[in-house]
Amino acid sequence: MNYIYHYDLAAILICIIVGGLFYSKKHFPSKSNRLFLTIGALIITASVFDVISVFTLTHIDTVPIWFNYLVNCTFFLAFNCTYIVYFIYILLITERNKEPYGKVVKIVNSVVLLYINFVILTTPWLKLVFYFEGNEYKHGPLHVSLYVVAFIMLGGCIFTILTSKRKINNMHLITTCVIAVISIVAILVQFVWNELLLVDFVAALLFFMLFHSLQNPDEYLDKELDIFNMKAFLQKIVNLSGKKRGFTVLAFEIEGFQFVDQFMGVESGNDLLAVVVKDCLKELKGDLYHLDGTKFAYIFDKNSKEIEEYADWLKWRFVTAFRVNRVAVNLSLRLCKVDFPEVASTREEMLNAITSSLEQAKEENSYDVIEATKEAIEKHQRSAIISHILKGAVRNKSFDVYFQPIYSFEDRAFSAAEALVRLQDPELGFIPPDEFIPIAEQNGLILEVGDIVFHKVCEFLQSSEVTNLGIRYVEVNLSMVQCIQEDLHKHLKAIMDRYEIPYHMIDFEVTETFSTSDNRILMNNMSNLIDSGCTFAVDDYGTGFSNADYLIEFPFDLVKIDKSVVWSATDNEKAMKVLEHTAAMIRSLGLKIVAEGVETFEQVLMLRSMRCEFLQGYYFSKPLPPDQYIEFLRNAEVCIKEKLTDRLAMLS
Q: Whole-angstrom Cα distance, residue 592 to residue 612?
A: 7
Q: Which is nearer to ligand C2E, 373 or 543 (CB)?
A: 543
Contact in structure between 469 and 405 (CB atoms under 8 Å):
no
DSSP character at residue 25: S
Choose one: 171-179, 191-199, 502-510, 637-645; the region binding Ca ion (CB under 5 A): 502-510
CA–CA dist 68, 518 (Å, integer): 92
Q: Note whether 525 binds ligand C2E by CB under 6 A.
A: no
Amino acid at 46: A
* Closer CB to ligand C2E, 156 or 597, in the complex: 597
Q: Does 613 bind Ca ion (CB under 5 A)?
A: no
Which option in Ca ion, ligand C2E, none does residue 349 bind, with CB closer than 5 to 8 A by kind?
none
Site mask, Ca ion, residues 525-554, x = CB under 5 A? --------------xx--------------
Q: Does 542 bind ligand C2E (CB under 6 A)?
A: no
Give the Cβ contact number of residue 637 at 10 Å. Answer: 13
Kindly tell me which of 55 and 618 has the beta carbon lying closer to ligand C2E. 618
- Taking CB under 6 A as the binding criterion, the range among 2-10, 129-137, 269-277, 426-434 that sits at the site for ligand C2E is 426-434
Pick one of 563, 604, 607, 624: the residue that binds ligand C2E (CB under 6 A).
Answer: 563
Q: Binding marks (x or -) toward Ca ion, 199..218, rule CB under 5 A?
A: --------------------
Query: Using the rule CB under 5 A, is 509 a contact of Ca ion?
Result: yes
Minimum Å gap between C-beta 647 and ligand C2E is 17
* Residue among 450 and 626 whose Cβ is closer to ligand C2E: 450
Nearer to ligand C2E, 169 or 600 (CB): 600
Our CB check for ligand C2E shows the closer of 251 and 421 to be 421
The rounded distance, in Å, linking the Cα atoms of 426 and 499 is 31
The whole-angstrom distance between residue 438's C-alpha and the CA centroid of its chain comes to 20
- 405 Cα distance to chain centroid: 43
Q: Is residue 616 close enough to count as binding Ca ion by CB under 5 A?
A: no
CA 142/CA 116 separation, integer angstroms? 10
40 interacts with ligand C2E by CB under 6 A: no
- Residue from the set 8, 50, 222, 596 that interacts with ligand C2E by CB under 6 A: 596
Question: Considering the rule CB under 6 A, would residue 546 count as an interface residue with ligand C2E?
Answer: no
DSSP 624: B
d(CA 243, CA 252): 24
- Residues 161, 164, 165, CA angle at the centre, nearest 5°? 90
| Angstrom distance (rounded) from CA 413 to CA 405 | 10
DSSP letters, 579-614, are: HHHHHHHHHHTT-EEEE----SHHHHHHHHHTT-SE
CB of 539: closest distance to ligand C2E in angstroms?
5
Using alpha carbons, list the distances in angstroms from residue 126 to 140, 141, 273, 574.
9, 10, 66, 100
- Contact yes or no for 178/209 (Cβ under 8 A): yes
What secondary structure letter does DSSP report for 321?
A: P
Compute the CA torsion angle 581, 585, 586, 592 (nearest 10 deg): 80
Nearer to ligand C2E, 203 or 598 (CB): 598
Residue 507 touching Ca ion (CB under 5 A): no
Q: Which does 217 bind (CB under 5 to 8 A by kind): ligand C2E, Ca ion, none?
A: none
**439 binding ligand C2E? (CB under 6 A):** no
Q: Identify the residue among 73, 280, 421, 612 touching ligand C2E (CB under 6 A).
A: 421
Q: Which of the residues 602 through 631 are near ligand C2E (CB under 6 A)?
A: 616-618, 623
456-495 mask for ligand C2E (x: CB under 6 A)? ---------------------x-x----------------
What CA–CA distance (Å, rounded) separates 526 from 484? Answer: 11
The minimum distance between CB 603 and Ca ion, in angstroms, equals: 15
Residue placing its CB nearer to Ca ion in the complex, 339 or 539: 539
Looking at the DSSP assignment, which residues form a beta bridge with residue 336? 251, 370
Nearest distance in Å: CB 541, Ca ion: 8
Q: How many residues does the chain have?
A: 652
477 touches Ca ion (CB under 5 A): yes
Stretch (H or E) spanning 530: helix 516-532
Nearer to ligand C2E, 306 or 435 (CB): 435
Nearest to 291 by CA among 263, 250, 346: 250
Is 562 among the residues that bind Ca ion (CB under 5 A)? Answer: yes
Shortest Å, Cβ 579 to Ca ion? 14
Beta carbons of 68 and 132 less than 8 angstroms apart: yes
Question: Closer to Ca ion at the Cβ: 354 or 420?
Answer: 420
Closest to ligand C2E by CB, 46 or 449: 449
Partner whose binding site includes residue 40, from Ca ion, ligand C2E, none (CB under 5 to 8 Å by kind)? none
In this complex, which beta carbon is closest to Ca ion, that of residue 242 or of residue 432?
A: 432
Query: φ, ψ for residue 364 (rounded to 5)?
Result: -85, 0
Q: Does 453 bind ligand C2E (CB under 6 A)?
A: yes
Closest listed residue to residue 596, CA positions, set 630, 627, 622: 622
SS3 letters across 467-481: CCCCCCEEEEECCHH
Burial class (CB in 10 A: 0-12, 13-18, 19+), 465: exposed
Interface contacts to Ca ion, rule CB under 5 A: 477, 509, 539-540, 562
Interface contacts to ligand C2E, rule CB under 6 A: 404, 420-421, 432-434, 437, 450, 453, 477, 479, 539-540, 563, 596-599, 616-618, 623
